[in-house]
Amino acid sequence: MAATDFKDYYAVLGVAKTADASAVKKAYRRLARKYHPDMNPGDRAAEAKFKEVNEAYEVLSDPDKRQQYDRFGQYWQQGGRASGGAGAAGAGAGGFDFSQYSDFDEFIETLLGNMGGGSRSSRTANDWSSNSRSSGFGGGFEDFASYGRGASNSKAAGGSTRSLDRDATLTLSFSEAFHGAQKRLNIGSEIVSVRIPPGAKSGSRVRVKGKGNRDGYGRRGDLYLNVDLQVHSFFQFDGDKLTCEVPIAPDEAVLGTQIQVPTPDGSVTVNIPAGIRAGQSLRLRGKGWPSPKTKKRGDQLVKIAIAIPSAPSDAERQLYQQLGQCRSANPRADLDRVSL
């Protein structure tokens, strides 16, 4: 974070530096309620203030982050990370050990004094950061300058790549996933607005650029939302195919019929052929789930189940008895030839 970007988080929340955790939390709740986007629809200034309040609370509510913030000031992220153990324990950018210094300015003063650069009053951290390359000092000092300003690559001072991307789970109803939806999510201390395109399924990943984790250089990764669909009472998925199960009566299975079958955008008339068997599926072309890439609808598969009455009426029982007496085929005739 550059010096010009430094934010006084205590001033943002309107609390003293000696404020305890309870006072910080109380101030945050008051300001978060005041500037919440739902309380100030369309007010960009309030939304910016809300984000600033959340950023301040995220630091001051965390004892470790607050300690580093109080200790290193505008360089709290760099100093805290270096003293926390990137690479060797206590070693920071360029191999320096921050843990032996009370604050970042003391480190700069000691460094410049060792190199003949004078006292803190003659050269500041910003002077060192901007002039290190032209001064003829190489190696670790260039690394340190990049660390202080913000490097252009994705590696920390210790050399290990740190991913700034983050994952979160997004639960959608079948209706939201089918039609698409605009969602407002609480991600950490930030409210993120996300547009979900039609056709999301469980396992889908939605990328939201620039809403991931931050690093000390001002860079930010992406947010990946893992979609989880709520269970539906009728529709299910079999791979990419939308499926459902529809019961029909025994007489409908024998004689054939027409029935109404629900689809995601309304019921359609389906012809049930005579002699259909339980477990067979009928295909409704173009009535399934939309593809986020092609925008086209897939097919819906209708699996047939034959519903046997569990408590037939006397009239039904008599008719089934008559049917059994005049039945011409034995459905188990082939079982006589079954053997190992």
> What are the angstrom distances between the C-alpha of 149 and each of 3, 127, 128, 146, 206?
10, 12, 11, 5, 32
Which residue, among 92, 113, 263, 101, has the nearest Cα to 174 in the 3D structure?
263
Per-domain boundaries in the chain: 3-149, 166-229, 242-325
Q: 126 by DSSP, 3-state: which?
A: helix
Task: State the architecture of 242-325 in CATH terms.
Answer: Sandwich (2.60)
What pLDDT does 160 receive?
A: 33
pTM higher than 0.75: no
Domain 3-149: CATH class, spelled out: mainly alpha
- Specify whether domain 166-229 bears CATH 2.60.260.20: yes
Closest CA to 221 of 229, 209, 233: 209
- The residue ranges of the chain whose pLDDT is under 70 are 1-6, 74-162
Domains 3-149 and 242-325 share a fold: no
pLDDT of residue 293: 85
